[in-house]
Structure 1
């Protein structure tokens, strides 16, 4: 049975709400509408994408210039199996109403919700530590304001994180002297979501992730993503190149054995933790950081994303779309009004292709309309 993909970037917020019908904030609804076709870049042959019928023209253009998109189309009600960006009670009900078959029952969704919280990051780090993988100071799961205050005092420079949040929201950099400013925020998180995670602030040199596809209890490594966050700790852009090239970039910081040990151990952890019924992507965010003595190391689990991520997309683009020897940048940008959108469009250089791969200019990753406020692009640099 073919797969039907759905871009539902609000999923982390829907998990936090844990309701049958979740309504996302307006900006995220706009993001979802504008980038509805984004899953086409990771879709399997013959699959369908839930997107407006008008997006078929853009899809046909991409098929005409790039290999690997044959058989992918807009969902029109034919029997298919659901493959959302992420799973929640809300998205399951939405997909069922659209006529898409869903194998996610209540027990599975409850388990996935629990595993999607930042408690899983701590669980994975504990397992990695037991396997002999070098990790930074262990994060603390704090169930009260007093526990959070003690954790921040211990780390001095710390990062506080909500159990469920999205795109850098719910993350705060806190020094011990400024913790009183965040007391109401922490108390509210504990009241609504049960706990807050406190981890040491590290001297970061490079964000990256390992991307996996999990099916039948087996986790398969799919590639790396090398990305950069903005000052609000939200995703800004990613380097787009082949898996081999991204690995070479990471080897500028750490040796090959470190990457291989981390990959093997994280694969084992995912297979130990995830239910056999889960089929889908998992992105494990990591970080190259500098220890107090100056040595470079890898934090092997900054966060476990039990869903598709922008890193999954950028990794696939590097292996399947960008021309060999080229490097690109993937960006998701917000434009405050039509004038800003038109100004942005005027700066774009048309895409150029060699051997049916992108070799120059900028390729839109989803169509732009007059109503668009978010754009996703891949630019060769």
Structure 2
């Protein structure tokens, strides 16, 4: 008898992996996000699986959603972990702290990845992978991008001062974290930041800032046996600091049409094919699961071609919001509709609940044939103390 999959939302994974310690304690904000969005995997989990979440609020909410849409998953609470050994954990991502947490909760060690395997995932998650892969993705004149791994103070200073705008990154960090935006001056603050990061991780990543038109990604899935296959596109938005805000919900065909208005479609298809080969070679036998390659469509005014694709801004060797959005669209949005999937943050009590009630009133939900045609739908429970939320807002295509 095969074991059921148990999905776990641990959004602190990148931070925990960067830290590398089994006793890592995530910041309060990450703990709050994990709690508020614990039920999010219900929307992308495999049929017949379960989601790890506290029963309070979540079970009532899940049952309510299951009356609206076909969501074939169950809820499992932490106390049930030890008593029910018939499952395989499927977290957002693996790190030593999560492994220890599951062991302490009573999960059998033979159902968990070894510390050696997690160490290999940490090595493969290093942004040095971007530097190495990016050079192999400059397929023709419609591609751009450069990234450097710098280890010496004089290199950091030279790079910042030689570029009007540049971005420094920690080699291992969370999405939207470990970033330092520079404006051509190597200040004492930037110098201190570089020294701290290099002391922990050996060096820093450095890249120019581009004139970005669209943030998008190609999403893939690795079978762990050597084959990585293309899953689809995601078009997403970030805030000014680079943190994720949400995804467009639309078909891959629509995304291809939008990109082809700037860059020939055959170049994008060739990139997809080359990435399948390159990712298979790099990750195919070391990682099983979803991964995403973040990209940008960039503008070069006065140059030819004016628009080019930066084909490898980040590699996310884990589940990611782009895959969530892609599955949400395929499973639950009517083909005649499009919309947006958003992660929200409300720092003050009651704010999220007020916003939820307003959205529900202004954008009534319309469902036909088990698909959302239009309206607002929260994807996780919303109550007085909610800080983080996940929602979709759908509209008919006119």
TM value normalised by structure 2:
0.90
Contact map agreement 1:4 1:100 (CA 8 A) in 2: no
Q: 5 Å matches for 1:123-134?
A: 123-129=132-138
Counterpart of 2:6 in structure 1 is 4
Alpha-carbon distance in 2 for matches of 1:114, 1:277:
11
Q: CA deviation at 1:355?
A: 1.0
Contact map agreement 2:237 2:245 (CA 8 A) in 1: yes
Q: CA deviation at 1:132?
A: 6.4
**1:144 equivalenced with 2:149 (yes/no):** no
Contact map agreement 2:376 2:393 (CA 8 A) in 1: yes
Contact map agreement 1:83 1:280 (CA 8 A) in 2: no
Counterpart of 1:92 in structure 2 is 99
Q: 5 Å matches for 1:6-25?
A: 6-25=8-27
Alpha-carbon distance in 2 for matches of 1:4, 1:23:
22
Contact map agreement 1:89 1:109 (CA 8 A) in 2: yes
Deviation string for 1:179-209 (max 9, x for gaps)? 5541111111111221110011111100001
Q: 5 Å matches for 1:34-73?
A: 34-54=36-56, 55-67=58-70, 69-73=71-75
Q: CA deviation at 1:365?
A: 1.0
SS across alignment from 1:377: strand
Alpha-carbon distance in 1 for matches of 2:308, 2:13:
32
Q: CA deviation at 1:110?
A: 0.9
Counterpart of 2:341 in structure 1 is 330
Deviation string for 1:282-330 (max 9, x for gaps)? 0110000013515111111000001111111111111111111211111
Contact map agreement 2:9 2:37 (CA 8 A) in 1: yes
Contact map agreement 1:50 1:74 (CA 8 A) in 2: yes
Q: CA deviation at 1:128?
A: 2.6
The runs of 5 or more residues in structure 2 that have no matched partner are none
Q: 1:252 to 1:99 in 2, by over 3 A?
A: farther
* 299, 302, 311: which one aligns with 1:300: 311
Alpha-carbon distance in 1 for matches of 2:69, 2:254:
21
Counterpart of 1:353 in structure 2 is 367
**1:262 equivalenced with 2:271 (yes/no):** yes
Contact map agreement 2:353 2:386 (CA 8 A) in 1: no
TM value normalised by structure 1:
0.94
Counterpart of 2:87 in structure 1 is 80
Q: 5 Å matches for 1:185-264?
A: 185-215=193-223, 216-264=225-273
Counterpart of 2:292 in structure 1 is 283
**1:374 equivalenced with 2:388 (yes/no):** yes
SS across alignment from 2:185: helix
Aligned alpha-carbon RMSD (Å): 1.9
Contact map agreement 1:285 1:303 (CA 8 A) in 2: yes
Structure 1 segments, 4+ long, off by >6 Å, are none
Alpha-carbon distance in 1 for matches of 2:158, 2:186:
13
